[in-house]
Structure 1
Amino acid sequence: MSVNLAIIYYSSTGTNYQLAEWAAEGAKQAGAEVKILKVQELAPESAIASNPAWKAHVDATKDVPVATPDDIVWADAIIFSTPTRFGNMASQMKQFLDLTGGIWFNGKTINKVVSAMTTAQNPHGGQEATLLALYTSMYHWGAIIVGPGYTDHSIFTAGGNPYGTSVSVDQNGKMIEDVKNAVMHQAKRTVTVAGWVKNGQA
C-alpha cells in the first residue's frame, strides 16, 4: 500500500523549492506517490519585480501547482518547507494553513503524518522556532508529527536540527550546510511512518 505524500513549500528565491525537490527524490525512493505543490504567493508584483532572484524563481516555477486543502485530503503525509520570517513561518504558508479550517472541521486532517523543513540567513535566525510554530498548528489538526530526531548521521552533517532539516543561506542565496542527505532521510522516514499509520488504519 503506497503512501501519498504532498510536499508543500513556499520559496521566494528557490532554496525551499530545492529542499522540496530533494524530499521528493527521497520519498520516491521509499515508494511514495509524490506531489510537489507551492502555496499561493501573496506579495505584490512590485515587490517581486524589485528583486531579480525572486522574479526569476517565480517565473521558473510558474507551472508548479498551487496547493489546496484537497491536496491535504489526498495525502497520507505532508512535508512542509518554508523560510523563516522573524522566527515564524512565512505569511504565505500561514495563510495556506488558515485555509484548511473546512477540512479540519470535517475531520480530514486527523492522523496525517507531518514533517517540516526551513531556511534562514543564519543558524540562529529562528529555524527551530519556525518549525515548532508550524507544528503547533499540526497539533490542532490532530496530525502525527515525525521529526528526524537523530536517527541518521546525515542530521549531524546538516547541522543537527532534530525538529526538521534546516539550512542557512548566504547573501548570494547559496546554502551553507550540506543538507541534501538529511532532507532525503527525513522524507524517507516520513514516508515509512506514514506507511505504518496507513496500514494500521486499514
Structure 2
Amino acid sequence: MADVKLAVIYYSTYGHNHLMASTACESARDAGAEVRLRKVHETAPEGVVAGQDKWKAHAEATAHVDEAILDDLEWADAYLFSAPTRYGVAASQMRAFMDQTGPLWGAGKLANKAVSAMTSAQNSHGGQEATLLSLYTTFMHWGCILVPPGYTDQTMFAAGGNPYGVSVTAMGQGIPEEAKAAIRYQARRLVEVARKLKG
C-alpha cells in the first residue's frame, strides 16, 4: 500500500506540461506513491481553443483526464504542479484553480504538505524562473513545505541547471530526454521528502 498520496496537477495548452506531469506520475508511482493526475479547468473560450489546431488537438487527446477539484488537494500529502509560463507567471488557467483554494487554506488543510513545481516556455529566457518563484509564493501562503530539486542531483545540471524546478523550452513536440530524467528525479525527491514529513 502506498504511504504517500501525491496530486500532480497541471495545465497544458499544446501538450508539453501534460507530458511533464505524466512523466512525473510514472516516477512517483515507481517511488511507491499513490498518484492522482489532474488537469485544471480550461478557462479560454471554446472558440479560441477550437481556432488553433494544436490547442484543439491536445484538448481532445486529454479529454479523458479528470479535472482537478479541491478534494484532490485535501486528499494529497504532497503536490506537484506543472504549468506553462505566461508573461513570467503561471498560465491563468492554473491561477484560476489556485484562486479557489481559499476555503481549504482558511481551514489549514493545505499546510505542512510537500510541494514542488515545473514549467515551460517557448525560449530559455521566457520567464520560467519567475513563474516557479511566483508559484512558490502561493505555496508559502498555503503553509506548504517547499521541495525544489536544487542542485542535489546531476540531472538538474543536464536539464539546464534550474534549481527551482524543471523548466522545459517548449519547441515542437515532446521534451528532451535530459528533461525527462530531471522530472523523474524531482518527482522522486518530492515523494521521499513527503514520506519523511509523514513520519
Offset, 1:37 = 0.1
RMSD: 1.1
TM-score, scaled to structure 2: 0.97
- 1:6-27 Cα distance to aligned partner (Å, 9 max, x none): 0000001100000001100110
What one-letter code is carried by the residue in structure 2 that aligns with 1:82? A
Contact kept? 2:41, 2:97, Cα under 8 Å: yes
Contact kept? 1:169, 1:176, Cα under 8 Å: no
Offset, 1:177 = 7.2
Going from structure 1 to structure 2, the CA distance change for 1:27 and 1:174 (only over 3 Å counts) comes to: closer
Structure 1 counterpart of 2:41: 40
Q: What percentage of residue pairs aligned between the two structures are identical?
A: 55
Q: What is the rounded CA distance, in whole Å, between the counterparts of 2:189 and 2:195 in structure 1? A: 10
Structure 2 counterpart of 1:68: 69
- 1:174-198 Cα distance to aligned partner (Å, 9 max, x none): 5367300100000000000000001
SS in 2 for 1:13: coil
Structure 1 counterpart of 2:20: 19
Structure 2 counterpart of 1:90: 91
SS in 2 for 1:2: coil
Structure 2 counterpart of 1:154: 155
Q: What is the rounded CA distance, in whole Å, between the counterparts of 1:64 and 1:174 in structure 2? A: 19
Structure 2 counterpart of 1:187: 187
Contact kept? 2:12, 2:83, Cα under 8 Å: yes
Number of equivalenced pairs:
198
Q: What is the rounded CA distance, in whole Å, between the counterparts of 1:141 and 1:15 in structure 2? A: 27
Q: What is the rounded CA distance, in whole Å, between the counterparts of 2:174 and 2:80 in structure 1? A: 22
- 1:141-177 Cα distance to aligned partner (Å, 9 max, x none): 000000000111111110010000001012x345367
Moved over 4 A (4+): none
Q: What is the rounded CA distance, in whole Å, between the counterparts of 1:135 and 1:75 in structure 2? A: 18
Structure 1 counterpart of 2:60: 59
Q: What is the rounded CA distance, in whole Å, between the counterparts of 1:8 and 1:112 in structure 2? A: 14
TM-score, scaled to structure 1: 0.95
